[in-house]
Amino acid sequence: MNASEYTVAAYVIAGTLLFGYALILCISGRALAKDMAAQPPKTDSKV
Amino acid sequence: MANLDYSTPEQTRRDLSRAVPLVGLPAWFCVSYWVLAAASFGAACAMTAWYAPIESTMGVIQKIFYIHLPSAINTFLACMMVFVASVGFLVQRRMWWDDLAAASAKVAVLLCGIVLMTGMIWGKSAWGVWWTWSPRLTFSLLLWLLYVVYLIVRASVDSEQRRAVVGAVYGVVAFLDVPLVYLSARLLTDIHPSSITLAPPMKLTLIVWFVPVTLLCGGLIAMAYVVQARRRQRTEALETGGPEAMNLSLLGEAA
DSSP string for B169-216: HHHHHHTTHHHHHHHHHHHS--SS-S-----HHHHHHHHHHHHHHHHH
Say whether residue B80 is in contact with chain A using an 8 A CB cutoff: no
pLDDT the model gives residue B29: 83
pLDDT of A34 strictly over 90? no
Average pLDDT of every residue of chain A: 81
pLDDT the model gives residue B219: 92
Look at chain A and count its residues: 47
- Kindly give the confidence (pLDDT) of every residue in chain B, 255 residues in length, as a single tens digit, with 9 standing for 90 and above: 334 344 555 555 554 554 444 556 677 888 889 899 999 999 999 999 999 999 888 888 999 999 999 999 999 999 999 999 999 999 999 999 999 999 999 999 999 999 999 999 999 888 889 998 988 899 999 999 999 999 999 999 988 899 999 999 999 999 999 999 988 877 777 777 777 778 899 999 999 999 999 999 999 999 999 888 888 877 777 775 545 445 444 444 443
Interface test with chain A among B62, B216, B236, B244, by most A beta carbons within 10 Å: B216
Do B220 and A47 count as a contact with CB atoms less than 8 A apart?
Answer: no
Do A13 and B231 count as a contact with CB atoms less than 8 A apart?
Answer: no
Chain A contacts of B59, Cβ < 8 Å? 3
| Beta-ladder partners of B59 | B55
Distance CA B64, CA B193 (A): 14
Burial classification of residue B7, based on how many CB atoms lie within 10 Å of its CB (0-12 exposed, 13-18 middle, 19 or more buried): buried
Which among A3, A10, A28 has CB closest to B59?
A3
Pick the closest to residue B236 from B21, B8, B67, B22 (CA basis). Answer: B8
Q: Which residue has the higher pLDDT, B12 or A19?
A: A19
Pick the closest to residue B246 from B3, B2, B1, B6 (CA basis). Answer: B6
Q: What is the pTM of this model?
A: 0.83
pLDDT the model gives residue B23: 57
Distance CA B165, CA B152 (A): 15
